[in-house]
Amino acid sequence: MIKLKDVAKKAKVSEATASLVLNRKKGVSAATRERVLSTVQALGYTPNNIARGLATRRTRSIGLVVTDIENPFFGSVTRFVDEFILARGCTLILSVSNDEPELEEKIISFFIGRRVEGVIIVPAISRRTNLSYFKDLDRHKIPYVFVTTYYPGVEADCVMTDLKKGSYQLARYLIGLGHRDVVFLASHDRTVPVSSLRIEGVQRAFTEAGIPVDGVRVVECDKANFSCGYAMTQVALEERKPDAIIGVNDIVALGAERAVRDKGYSIPGDISVCGYDDVIFSRISEVPLTTVRQDVKLLCRKAVDVLFGRIADAHTRKRIQKIVPELVIRQSTGPCRKRGKSERKGTT
């Protein structure tokens, strides 16, 4: 069995220093702390959490709130957060908000009652004015970190992909293919960051290319899922056939693909379709989906690092960290048939 003294020896520190790191005490440099934690993970050291909890009154548990466990993107978030939490000698308590702020509030209250030592939150994609339950976390001195997006007006750490940049890259690519009439399938509240930042990125690309932004039709989906993506694409197609459709995420975009094909249109010959996230289904769908990749593992690692840094020192400056997105081009997008090469402008 790996013991604390083995960790200390491998990390070239004293047992006292290793203990300070594992108990998240001050007085250890960032470099030493990282070396000890890396050694813990490499050796597979597991502290005696029961004995430690009795001695320190700590639960060694971290709460995670995700919005939709059926979306494989959030399944990946759960998997990686759990992996990195376990490497820190803690256990994960998972709960699902179903994108309902009222349920999210109850979950936070539950976590407080369970005396978790920190919380990682994927915010519900709904705007709400009552966010006082985050002050409850502050009152109980429980640190929390937002991941993938944030609530405007709540001062907290956040680790997220640069959503605006990703959509900007995607829109520039579509413009380069000649697309001018684009449907953007947003969440039911287009003002929340998860939608607004993506919309702003698309509009910026249109403006820079000298194309009127009214060429971007924003269609709101009650739920950011396959069924709603399918239904709202049918509604958009009844109005007029667009050049391209962008989903707020891959699952919505896959619903759009199905609706386009059910209407008798070809992809990408008649309509190009693209999404955001790069979930596994986007690669194996009938028409593999052009999308924007979010590095989920990196997002989760940084979120866990930020949370444990906040646990160790509650007075550090809170900030938003943005991960660089990656445009992934597949078979669901192609040149617009309405326009010849001379009418196409913009680059990847």
pLDDT, tens digit, 9 for 90 and up, residues 44-64: 776 654 445 444 456 789 999
Tell me the C-alpha distance between 321 and 250, whole Å.
23
Check residue 313 and give its pLDDT: 81
Check residue 28 and give its pLDDT: 85
This prediction's pTM: 0.79
> Two tokens at 103?
């349920």
Q: Under 8 Å CB-to-CB from 69, ≥6 apart: which residues?
A: 75, 78, 96
Which residues of the chain form CATH 3.40.50.2300? 56-160+296-324, 163-294+327-343
Check residue 346 and give its pLDDT: 45
Residue with tokens 């490499």: 42
Check residue 86 and give its pLDDT: 94
Check residue 129 and give its pLDDT: 67
Strand-pair partners of 64: 94, 120
Check residue 56 and give its pLDDT: 47
| CATH class of the structural domain 56-160+296-324 | alpha beta
Which residues of the chain form CATH 1.10.260.40? 1-46
Check residue 47 and give its pLDDT: 65
Q: Which residues of the chain have pLDDT under 50?
A: 49-51, 53-56, 346-348
Q: What is the 3-state secondary structure (H, E, C) of the chain?
A: CCCHHHHHHHHCCCHHHHHHHHCCCCCCCHHHHHHHHHHHHHHCCCCCHHHHHHHHCCCCEEEEEECCCCCHHHHHHHHHHHHHHHHCCCEEEEEECCCCHHHHHHHHHHHHHCCCCEEEECCCCCCCCCCCHHHHHHHCCCCEEEECCCCCCCCCEEEEECHHHHHHHHHHHHHHCCCCCEEEEECCCCCCHHHHHHHHHHHHHHHHCCCCHHHEEEEECCCCCHHHHHHHHHHHHHHCCCCEEEECCHHHHHHHHHHHHHCCCCCCCCCEEECCECCHHHHHCCCCCEEEECCHHHHHHHHHHHHHHHHHCCCCCCCEEEECCEEECCCCCCCCCCCCHHHCCCCC
The CATH number of the structural domain formed by 163-294+327-343 is 3.40.50.2300
Tell me the C-alpha distance between 211 and 205, whole Å.
9
* Statement: 1-46 belongs to CATH 3.40.50.720: no
Check residue 340 and give its pLDDT: 55
Q: Are strands 91-96 and 61-66 parallel, antiparallel or unpaired?
A: parallel
